[in-house]
Structure 1
Amino acid sequence: MLKEKFRYLFLFFVGLLIAAACKTIEPHTLPSMDPIPAVFLQQSDSSSLADISWREFFNDPNLIELIEYGLENNLDLLAALERIDIANARFRVRNGLRYPTMDAIVRYRSGDIRPNLLNGTVNGDRNVINRVENNFVGFQSTWEIDLWGKLRDQKEAAFQQVLATEKGKQLVVTNLVADIATLYYDLLGMDIELATISRNIEFQEMALELIRIQKAAGRATELAVQQFAAQLLSTRSLLYEKQQEIVETENHLNYLLGRFPTEIPRAESLMQIKLPFVAEVGVPSDMLLRRPDIQIAEHELRAAEYNVEAARKAFLPSFSLTPYIGLNDRSIPAAFQFPGAISVGLLGGITQPLFAQNRIRAGYQEASAGSRIAVFAYQEAILNGYREVMNKLQRIENLRNVYSLRDEETAVLLNAVSTANELYRGGYATYLEVITAQSRVLEAELGMTNTRRQMFFTVVDLYRALGGGWE
């Protein structure tokens, strides 16, 4: 009867602790998000550009070889792999907390042990309380019973962090592939610009020689010679500036590849390379979900939610079991006397924090705020992804129109240079008109090259914005 009353009293006490803990938990609410628009630019649904492997997307064997080398040696990517190992180790630690631990214990006490007069004895003259103070050699296990699922929530949060780090590696791969391709196309564009500048230097040297001959014949002035010479010096300075840009771009690309500066093998001309394939885009939710940054934000959001649940359950009491077995006695020799020295026991405990409510509440508030931050980060990732795709799609279309007009402009200005030279020889045009025509055709050719290069950049950025390149 006494045991029955004690059991009911114990359950009543536990119920009071749980009720008190539940009253201290504040409701956890998450902000909502507007729905994603149905389609991009009202275009028809089709396969996503991001579904294409980067080996199929890029049609230049030199670029493919560079990307393969970078995926094996890039330092950021190697660091991302180490971060995955760290997350896996943390997950194993969290998962191990759900299972019992086993410790080997050797306890030695020197000196006399005072007799305990308040308790009886077992096994002859061994006092029950003094057994704890005796010499002990054995094993002890500790197991916290995950009655409320707190440890399980912590394990799930760690697992979501593992998934987030794996997606982080995919994000590094996506950015690495896009950066290597962008620098490669940039180099090809600079090669064309360098050739254009060199060609214009030859034309301007011929024009300067012609004006000097005309000055010697009395048909031109020293001012005209100086103007042509100044134009030639300016163009030559552009040549050295472009050479420096090529060197720096090559070094940057080698840095991404994880190697010291060396010559970058590349195609003959950017004009000979086809623009990477651009497919129709479909439903944005299907494509945006491929982006590694959105997947990272999603896993971090789930991890934050599990952390909130674990922090909520920290208000509830904890239950633990501690079984032990070993040899126990007042002296080391006596401890190895069988079977009398064998000690076996099981301790059970319930722990309810009473004076740590502020600390637990602060932890819960911190987890709740972190969960809301994760929601904002997830929403921001989706909005940013949608914005990037919209910008790139519109930019590709506009750049095509710009390139077409720049091509026509260059052809017209090339004819204008020939016309200006013929008119100048016949005395129907001034040297300033010739200089102006030469300057404008150089600007037009450089502008057309830059526009084509920007078209390649934008297609690569669209491929990256849709989450392509990591497979």
Structure 2
Amino acid sequence: MNKSTIYKCMAIAGLSFTYQACKLPAVTQRTENKTVPLAYAQANGQDTTNSAKTIWKDFFKDQYLNALIDTALKNNQELNVTMQEIEVSRAEIRARKGEYLPFAGIRAAGGVEKVGRYTSQGANDANTDIKPGRETPDPLPDYLITAYASWEVDIWHKLRNSKKAAVARYLSSVEGRNFMVTNLVAEIADSYYELLALDNQLEILKQNIGIQNNALKIVRIQKEAAHVTELAVQRFEAQVLKTRSMQYDIQQQITETENHINYLLGRFPQPIPRDDNGFEKLDLMPIQAGLPSQLLSNRPDIRQAEMDLAASKLDVKVAKARFYPSLNISASIGYNAFSPAFLFNMPQSLIYSLIGEVIQPVVNRNAIKANYSSANAKQLQAVYKYEQKVLNAYVEVTNQMAKISNLEQGYDLRSKQVQALSRSVRISNDLFRSTRADYMEVLLTQRDALEARFDLIDTKKQQINARINVYQALGGGWQ
């Protein structure tokens, strides 16, 4: 075989390596859909005013609630755990950045070596004279001081893209922290207003117990006058006992709600300061939904999904670059001698090296292909998760805005119901005193009035919670 044939074979082999490096597995690609409706279903026009831009201290006017939220943002354990995850992501950026910079170091070593006389090295060393009449020391010491460096030339931007992916994941962790803040602020506000509602229900219950006790006294007087039987007395007494037992159920709910707030604040149970006067007349927080497109910039979970998507795209590029040849350069320079006395003799003890190598995977690339396919699949996952976050955000805002509208109408009707039943309680008591109404009518009227007032408080609480939920769904609370 002549030289020309050999060169042709080498050229064909080189071309085949290049072809294998460039031939990548076919993978499905998909671009995320960032379009959202121009306006919400319940919105009139396209008002850009958005309550998410309002900081939570201005959105919630209650000084006690704001103090609780401020404490939670400092002490909540889950939030602090997330902060450490952010630190981990920041450290990952430094690690990835260091990978595409040269690695350099200084090495110093010393040792001794005894070789066999009848070895190739021993046979040669035996004939080496350092000075006339002096052979190589046996055993032979070895001293070394050298500086070395190695560098992978980032031809295909594999290392830079890996660093960019780490940056995207760091930004994702920051947005994850912001999303947790929105949830924490909303959960504390929900629990706080639930506590106010329970306080008012307890106060209503105490008032109702007073009304029922007065009715019980009247029934006993009526029994002595032989206008009613003992059955009426027992029925009224049973109703009083039932209402009194409800008082302890509410007190238990108050205790559990207080403890839940304390848990969110990262502290042991203690009383929660609050102003529970006038809950039924409490001013509702104004809410403006703005435009659906603003969700893309206001919602931390959407921005987190966007950062995860950006990182997954960079991961695909990194995985793709592994199919291509990598160029590594290594160099070293220093001194090497068998005696410290000769260690810095120039140029006899000087050593240096410069090596460049190209590495191209050719055979058994299944691991690289699997990693590339996995990166593509994770990218598609990130696309679907991003679209899911956008859709979920729009649905959440739409549902809560509809809930606000429906609760306003329901609250007006329940208010009229409470007023009517309050009048009927007075009327039934007056009629019962004059023996013109049956005791069952009095009992049923009192029960209906109590339930109606409880429902009114519950509706008020739902109105407040709906506004808090819209504020959260719009992306408010983390600023």
* TM-score using structure 1 length: 0.91
Q: Separation in 2 of the partners of 1:425 and 1:315?
A: 95
Deviation at 1:470, TM superposition (A): 0.6
Deviation per residue, 1:53-87 (Å, 9 max, x gap): 11111111111111111111111111111111000
Q: CA deviation at 1:268?
A: 3.0
The residue aligned with 1:278 is 287
Task: State the match for 1:81 in structure 2.
Answer: 83
Deviations 1:333-374 (A, max 9, x none): 544433311111111111112344011111111111111111
Query: Contact 2:295–2:393 (CA<8 Å) still a contact in 1?
Result: no
> Tell me, which stretches of 5 or more residues in structure 1 are unaligned?
1-5, 118-123, 126-132
**CA contact under 8 A between 2:165 and 2:315: conserved in structure 1?**
yes
Is the 2:190–2:465 Cα contact (8 Å) retained in structure 1? yes
1:184-205 Cα shifts (integer Å, max 9, x gaps): 1111111100001111011111
1:43 match: 44
- Distance in 1 (alpha carbons) for counterparts of 2:312 and 2:68: 39
Shift of the 91–11 alpha-carbon distance from structure 1 to 2, 3 Å rule, reads: farther
The alpha-carbon deviation at position 43 of structure 1 amounts to 2.5
Could you list the per-position Cα deviations for residues 258-295 of structure 1 after superposition, in whole angstroms to 9, with x for gaps in the alignment? 1111111111322353211212x332011343111101
Q: Which residue number in structure 2 is paired with residue 426 of structure 1?
A: 434
1:272-311 alignment, distance < 5 Å: 272-279=281-288, 281-311=289-319
Give the counterpart of 2:115 among 96, 112, 121.
112
The residue number in structure 1 matching 2:273 is 265
Of 326, 350, 360, the match for 2:358: 350
* 2:298 partner SS: coil
Distance across 1 between alignment mates of 2:356 and 2:329: 5
How many Å separate the matches in 2 of 1:157 and 1:32? 18
One of 379, 386, 394 as aligned partner of 1:386: 394
Q: Structure 2 vs 1, CA of residues 90 and 109 (structure 1 numbering), >3 Å: closer, same or farther? A: farther
The letter of the residue matching 1:19 is Y
Which range moved further: 232-241 or 419-428? 419-428
**Which one-letter code corresponds to 2:414 in the other structure?**
R
Alpha-carbon separation, structure 1, partners of 2:34 and 2:368: 33
Kindly indicate whether the alpha-carbon contact (under 8 Å) linking 1:17 and 1:317 is maintained by their aligned counterparts in 2. no
Aligned to 1:121: none
> In the TM superposition, what is the alpha-carbon distance from 1:242 to its structure 2 partner?
0.2
Residues 206/11 of structure 1: CA separation in 2 closer, same or farther (3 Å cut): farther
Q: Which residue of 2 aligns with 1:120?
A: none
Deviations 1:186-232 (A, max 9, x none): 11111100001111011111111211121122111111111111111
Runs of 4+ in 1 over 6 A off after TM superposition: 6-13
Structure 2 gap segments, 5+ residues each: 1-5, 123-128, 131-140
Q: For residues 15 and 267 of structure 1, do their structure 2 counterparts lie closer, same or farther at Cα, with a shift above 3 Å needed?
A: farther
In 1, Cα distance between equivalents of 2:239 and 2:393: 46
The residue number in structure 2 matching 1:57 is 59
Aligned to 2:30: 30
Partner of 1:219: 227
Per mean C-alpha deviation after superposition, the further-off stretch among 319-328 and 435-444 is: 319-328
Give the structure 1 partner of residue 253 of structure 2: 245
Alpha-carbon distance in structure 2 between the residues aligned to 1:17 and 1:169 = 47
Which residue of 1 is the match for residue 157 of structure 2? 149
Superposition pairs for residues 296-335 of structure 1, below 5 Å? 296-330=304-338, 334-335=342-343
Identity score, percent: 36
* TM-superposed deviation, 1:400: 0.6
The answer to whether 1:372 aligns with 2:380 is yes
Kindly tell me: are residues 387 and 11 of structure 1, through their superposed partners in 2, closer, same or farther at Cα, counting changes over 3 Å?
farther
Normalised by the size of structure 2, how large is the TM-score? Answer: 0.89
SS at match of 2:104: strand
| 1-structure distance, mates of 2:28, 2:101 | 29
SS of equivalent residue, structure 1 residue 174: helix
RMSD (CA atoms): 2.5
Q: Is the 8 A contact 1:171 1:470 kept in 2?
A: yes
Is residue 411 of structure 2 the alignment partner of residue 403 of structure 1? yes
Amino acid at match of 1:257: L
CA spacing shift, 1:99–1:9, aligned 2, 3 Å: farther
| Pair 1:384–1:16, CA change in 2 (3 A) | same
In structure 1, what is the equivalent of residue 182 of structure 2?
174
Correspondence for 2:474? 466
Aligned residues: 454
1:359 aligned to which of 367, 373, 377: 367
Residue 163 of structure 2 corresponds to residue 161 of structure 1: no
